[in-house]
Chain A
Amino acid sequence: MSREKTKRNRLQSVSIPTEIIFHIIVGGFALACIIPFIFVIIISFSSEESIRLIGYSFKPLKWSTEAYGFVLQMGSQLWRSYFNSFLVSIVGTVTSVLMCILYAYALFRRDFKYRKFFMFFAFFTMLFGGGLAPTYMVCKQMLGLSDNYAALIVPALVNPFFIIIMRTFLQTSVPEELIEAAAIDGSGEYNTLFRIIIPISKPGIATVSLLTMINYWNDWFLTMLYVRDSSKFPLQYLLMKVQNQVDFLIKNSSVIGVEASKILQDLPGTSLRMSLVVFIVVPIACAYPFFQRYIISGLTIGSVKG
Chain B
Amino acid sequence: MKKVLSMLLVLALAIGMLAGCKKTVDVADNAGTPQGGTSTNQGSTNTGSTDTGKTDTKPADTSRPDTHVVLKMYLEGSNVTDDKAVLEKVNAYLDEKLNCELQPIWGTWGDFDQGAVLSLQGAEDVDIYFTCSWTLNEYNQFARDGYYVRLDNPDNDLIHKYGQDILNLLPEVLIKGSTIEGADGYGIYAVNGYKDIACQNCWDVNVDLLKKYGYTIEDIEKADYYSFGDILAKVKAGEGENFYPLLIEGAVLERMVDNSIIVAGDSGSNNLLSYYINPTKTSEQGAYGNKILNKFATDEFKKFCEKTREYYLAGYIDPDMANPEKANDTRSNKQLTGQYLIGTQSYSLGYEIQASTERGFEVAMVPTTPAYVDTTSSQGAMMAISTASKNPERAMMFLNLLNTDAYLFTLLDFGVEGIHYNLNEIGEVEFTDERSNYMPWTNGLGNVTLLPPQKGQGADFQEKFKAYYGNADEIPILGFTFNPENVENEFGALANVAAEYFLPLCTGAVDPSEKIPEFLAKLEANGMQKVVDEANNQLSNFLAAQGK
A-side residues, CB < 8 A to B, are 52-53, 55, 77, 132-133, 136-137, 140-142, 188-189, 224-225, 228, 230, 240-245, 247-250, 252-259, 261-266
Please pick, from B111, B124, B328, B346, the residue contacting A257 in the complex, using a CB distance under 8 A: B346
In whole angstroms, what is the CA distance A263 to B77 when docked?
9
Cross-chain contact A142 with B23 (CB below 8 angstroms): yes
Residue of B nearest to A224 (CB): B111
Q: Least Cβ distance of B50 to chain A in Å? A: 26
Residue of A nearest to B327 (CB): A250
Contact partners of A258 in chain B: CB under 8 A: 345-348, 351, 354-355
Q: Least Cβ distance of A117 to chain B in Å? A: 12
Chain B interface size range: 35 or more
28 contacts between A and B (CB under 8 A): A53-B333, A77-B81, A136-B122, A137-B27, A137-B122, A142-B20, A142-B27, A188-B1, A224-B110, A225-B115, A240-B110, A241-B110, A241-B111, A244-B109, A245-B108, A250-B328, A252-B134, A255-B380, A257-B346, A258-B345, A258-B346, A258-B348, A258-B351, A258-B354, A263-B77, A263-B441, A264-B332, A266-B79
Given contacts A53-B337, A133-B121, A253-B328, are A244 and B23 in contact (CB under 8 A)? no
Cross-chain contact A242 with B337 (CB below 8 angstroms): no
Cross-chain contact B354 with A262 (CB below 8 angstroms): yes
Q: Least Cβ distance of A175 to chain B in Å? A: 23
B-side residues, CB < 8 A to A, are 1, 19-20, 23, 27, 31, 77, 79, 81, 105-106, 108-111, 113-115, 118, 121-124, 133-134, 196, 249, 251-252, 267, 328-329, 332-333, 336-337, 345-348, 351, 354-355, 358, 376, 380, 441, 443
Cross-chain contact A242 with B347 (CB below 8 angstroms): no
In whole angstroms, what is the CA distance A247 to B355 when docked?
22
Contact partners of B111 in chain A: CB under 8 A: 224, 241, 244
Contact partners of A52 in chain B: CB under 8 A: 333, 336-337
Residue of B nearest to A249 (CB): B109
Q: Give the top 4 A-B pairs by smallest Cβ distance, nearest first.
A: A244-B110, A245-B109, A245-B110, A133-B121
In whole angstroms, what is the CA distance A259 to B345 when docked?
12
Q: Least Cβ distance of A110 to chain B in Å? A: 15
Please pick, from A132, A243, A254, the residue contacting B110 in the complex, using a CB distance under 8 A: A243
Given contacts A52-B336, A228-B105, are A141 and B122 in contact (CB under 8 A)? yes
Cross-chain contact B122 with A255 (CB below 8 angstroms): no
Q: Could you list 6 further interchain pairs (A-B, Cβ under 8 angstroms) beyond the known A142-B19, A259-B348, A259-B443?
A: A52-B336, A133-B118, A225-B114, A225-B115, A228-B105, A248-B109
Given contacts A140-B122, A255-B134, are A261 and B332 in contact (CB under 8 A)? yes
Please pick, from A132, A142, A255, the residue contacting B118 in the complex, using a CB distance under 8 A: A132
Q: Least Cβ distance of B265 to chain A in Å? A: 13
In whole angstroms, what is the CA distance A293 to B204 when docked?
61
Cross-chain contact B133 with A255 (CB below 8 angstroms): yes
In whole angstroms, what is the CA distance A225 to B122 when docked?
12
In whole angstroms, what is the CA distance A26 to B34 when docked?
57
Contact partners of B443 in chain A: CB under 8 A: 256, 259
Cross-chain contact A248 with B1 (CB below 8 angstroms): no
Contact partners of A132 in chain B: CB under 8 A: 118
Contact partners of B355 in chain A: CB under 8 A: 258
Cross-chain contact A133 with B122 (CB below 8 angstroms): yes
Contact partners of B348 in chain A: CB under 8 A: 257-259
Contact partners of B133 in chain A: CB under 8 A: 255
Contact partners of A257 in chain B: CB under 8 A: 196, 346, 348
In whole angstroms, what is the CA distance A257 to B31 when docked?
35
In whole angstroms, what is the CA distance A47 to B77 when docked?
27
Contact partners of B19 in chain A: CB under 8 A: 142
Cross-chain contact A137 with B31 (CB below 8 angstroms): yes
In whole angstroms, what is the CA distance A183 to B196 when docked?
78
Q: Least Cβ distance of B74 to chain A in Å? A: 10
Interface centre among A242, A245, A250 (most CB of B within 10 A): A245
Interface centre among B122, B346, B441 (most CB of A within 10 A): B122
In whole angstroms, what is the CA distance A55 to B326 when docked?
10
Contact partners of A261 in chain B: CB under 8 A: 332
Residue of B nearest to A230 (CB): B81
Contact partners of B106 in chain A: CB under 8 A: 228
Cross-chain contact B376 with A255 (CB below 8 angstroms): yes
Contact partners of A137 in chain B: CB under 8 A: 27, 31, 121-123
Residue of B nearest to A265 (CB): B358
Q: Least Cβ distance of A269 to chain B in Å? A: 11
Cross-chain contact A241 with B122 (CB below 8 angstroms): no
Residue of A nearest to B125 (CB): A141
Contact partners of A259 in chain B: CB under 8 A: 196, 348, 443
